Amino acid sequence: MKEEADKSQQAGSSQGRESHKALLTTDLTTLAQVLKEEENWQKSGRGSRTVLKSETLRILLNVMQAGTEIKPHQAPGPISVQVMEGRIRFNTQEESMELAIGQMLTLPAHVRHSVEALEEATFLLTVSPLPAQA
């Protein structure tokens, strides 16, 4: 457990905490490897870590084993998905798109979607939550 914490710290992960620093660096490759060594990866075939969380921006690193799925859901703001490793299929009710290394997509807020890993995959998810309506 300490070894995982050390690797996570070396990767520069903010562990989901808000950062008040002007510059924050994260070694995403190392962090993805840490996620693949965790128990959740063995049990569910998936892992996720919040890299940055603020009022206006959330960045999450996700890893998925081939054949796993993130069930249909919607995000509270516009999102971007950037594939760093492997291939995924991103599905909405209207369309489906395969993404490979180096490809990115964007999606407006509140659009129901799911994600399937076509092969072992790592992707960066960025969410920009919309301000709460009074």
What CATH number does the domain containing 8 carry?
A: 2.60.120.10
What is the span of the domain harbouring residue 17? 2-127
Domain membership flag for residue 120:
yes
Domain membership flag for residue 94:
yes
Q: What is the mean pLDDT of residues 2-31?
A: 66
Domain membership flag for residue 134:
no
Q: What is the mean pLDDT of residues 108-124?
A: 98
Domain membership flag for residue 69:
yes
Q: What is the mean pLDDT of residues 42-59?
A: 95
CA distance 67 to 118: 6
Q: What is the mean pLDDT of residues 56-82?
A: 97
Domain membership flag for residue 133:
no
Give the chain's mean pLDDT. Answer: 88
CB under 8 Å to 118, separation ≥6 — which residues? 66, 86, 87, 88, 89, 98
Q: Does the pLDDT of residue 82 top 70, yes or no? A: yes
Q: Does the pLDDT of residue 1 top 50, yes or no? A: no
**Counted domains in the chain:** 1
Q: Does the pLDDT of residue 63 top 50, yes or no? A: yes
